[in-house]
Amino acid sequence: MPDPESDTTIETITSAVGRLMDDAWVGHGYTAPNTEVYPWLWLWDSCFHALIWADLDRPDRAVAELGCVLELQDGAGFVPHMGYQLDPQVPVDLWGRAGSSSITQPPMYGHAVAELRRRGIDVPDELAERAHAGLRFLVRDRARDPESGLITVVHPWETGCDDSPRWDHYCPGVGFDLDVWRRHKIALLASIEFGPTGGPLANPAFGAASVSFNALTVWNARELASVTGDDELLADVDALVPLIEDRWDADLATWVDAGPGSSTSGRIRTADPLCALLVVDDTDQRAAAVASLADSADHGGAFGPRGVHPSEPMYDPSSYWRGPVWPQLAYLLWRALDRGPAETEVGEELRGRTIVGAVRSGFAEYWDGDSAAGGGATPQSWTGLALVLAKTRTTSPSSSG
């Protein structure tokens, strides 16, 4: 159990997160995840930052940050996952374009718009319309996996789970070498197929259909529709839910990504596919997945949900995306646990442990689920989600699903 003496009072967390966010604010209108390691804008980071700014009573910065994400959108609705407002020429060699990247990330702008409006913040209709267009691009333009029917991602970076072991089978050569794989991911950028306005549509050299990416697309569309009343995409995203449920593996007690590799490393148990809990209805699937989050020998770490099941051979709680707790996934899983008292109880335990883990790690990018030892960039702005979690100690998350 977390140390009960850890200082997780609202006052202390608000003060710490306020300093963290102020120090990371960039004059161009966004929060750098870490000013030294990550000075640029990242899509889902900034959407989480908008929630944090809202809970710091800075609606101006919350809306500005969301606007900074969506101003990068192209004519087809594609929203790049990185913005280089500080120096638009920096990305040219890597991405082949100035000012932004050529891939996307989980479309958290739907939830961000909804949450800000639920807090009474005036989010301009233009931003809601841009969020809708971004989701429409993914749902209607992005290539689908021919067997499962799920939306594909064109690069592992699009999932946000960059070095997840679920992608290990894409590493060239004999055996798995993380350094080789990281170099190969750069090469994968060359095989992306783009639409007429430059939006990424498919990648024949990758083509995974990530359960978490699909679930987050469904959930964000539902979230957006809940505050705009625009249900144009709901039938399309609702049709994805049974396809996600079809990816359930009862032996593993988790959902398995579709596409190439779904029978090999795609079966490695990681926390991100548990985001399916945001949208699936199957009671047996939900019960088994929730049990995995509650089990201390499974994903139920003492300081938040472990990112990889501890019995997997590659589990390393100190390694980037290969075992530690990630605050944004912890937040999403907490949001997902809202189907009755049993789920809420597990969610409240997960929330409390994550708050303590964030504080004890020094608001690190990620941390060991058993010791709270921080890893990656420290501090990291999105770990300010501890404040969002702490401000809802006695309130269950609302559900739009």
Give me the average pLDDT of each 10-residue run along the chain (401 residues): 63 97 96 98 98 98 98 97 97 97 98 98 98 98 97 97 94 91 96 96 95 98 98 97 98 95 88 98 98 98 98 96 98 97 97 97 98 98 98 52 39
The number of helix segments (H) and strand segments (E) in the chain equals 14, 12
- Could you name the CATH architecture of 10-84+96-390? Alpha/alpha barrel (1.50)
| C-alpha span between 166 and 258 (Å, rounded) | 11
Round the average pLDDT of the chain to a whole number and report it: 95
Q: Which pTM value belongs to this model? A: 0.96
| C-alpha span between 277 and 297 (Å, rounded) | 20
pLDDT, residue 264, reads 86
DSSP 100: B
Q: Which phi and psi angles does 367 have, rounded to 5°?
A: -155, 160
pLDDT, residue 188, reads 97
| C-alpha span between 272 and 254 (Å, rounded) | 10
H runs (alpha helix) in 148-280? 178-188, 211-228, 234-238, 240-245
Q: Copy the structure tokens of residue 125.
A: 């209709």
Q: Hey, which residues does 254 pair with through a beta bridge?
A: 249
